[in-house]
Amino acid sequence: MRIQTVVHGAVQELLTAMDRAEVTVPMIAEKAGVTPSTIHRRWGDLADLLADVAVARMRSQPVRGPPAQLVPIGYSPWRLWRSFRSRNLCLKDRADGSILFKSG
């Protein structure tokens, strides 16, 4: 847990100071005081590490406000369908890229 904490902290510091495209595993390792092989062994690559940091950050932030409504009050399913159709929307599943709904 200590390694994860220091590495996550180093990533967050670097991302506030520079663009994501400039951040490298050796830079993170140096800032965290670990070796690059430690990062590669634990996270695999930079993309997995950045995703892990993002997920940890989202989990640490409390959700504020009332729960979101998926359908506005008073909207019938038919009216919602027409609204989707009129905007020519295409909804995709993020996991595998398959199309869940395509209009138009």
Instruction: Indicate whether 12 and 56 sit together in one domain.
Output: yes
| Distance from C-alpha of 98 to C-alpha of 100, rounded to nearest angstrom | 6
Check the CA dihedral 57-52-49-34 and report its sign: positive
Q: What is the pLDDT of residues 46-73, one digit of tens each?
A: 999 999 998 888 887 776 766 655 655 6
| Distance from C-alpha of 14 to C-alpha of 24, rounded to nearest angstrom | 10
User: Percent of the chain at pLDDT above 90?
Assistant: 49
Give the pLDDT score at 90: 52
The parent domain of residue 96 ranges over: 71-104
Domain with residue 24: its CATH number is 1.10.10
91 pLDDT higher than 90: no
| Inside any domain, residue 32 | yes
Which residues does 93 contact at the CB level (< 8 Å), separation at least 6?
99, 100
Instruction: Indicate whether 10 and 56 sit together in one domain.
Output: yes
| Distance from C-alpha of 39 to C-alpha of 83, rounded to nearest angstrom | 47
Q: What is the pLDDT of residues 71-82, one digit of tens each?
A: 556 666 666 666
Instruction: Indicate whether 90 and 40 sit together in one domain.
Output: no
Say whether pTM exceeds 0.75: no
Q: Considering its fold, how many domains does the chain have in total?
A: 2
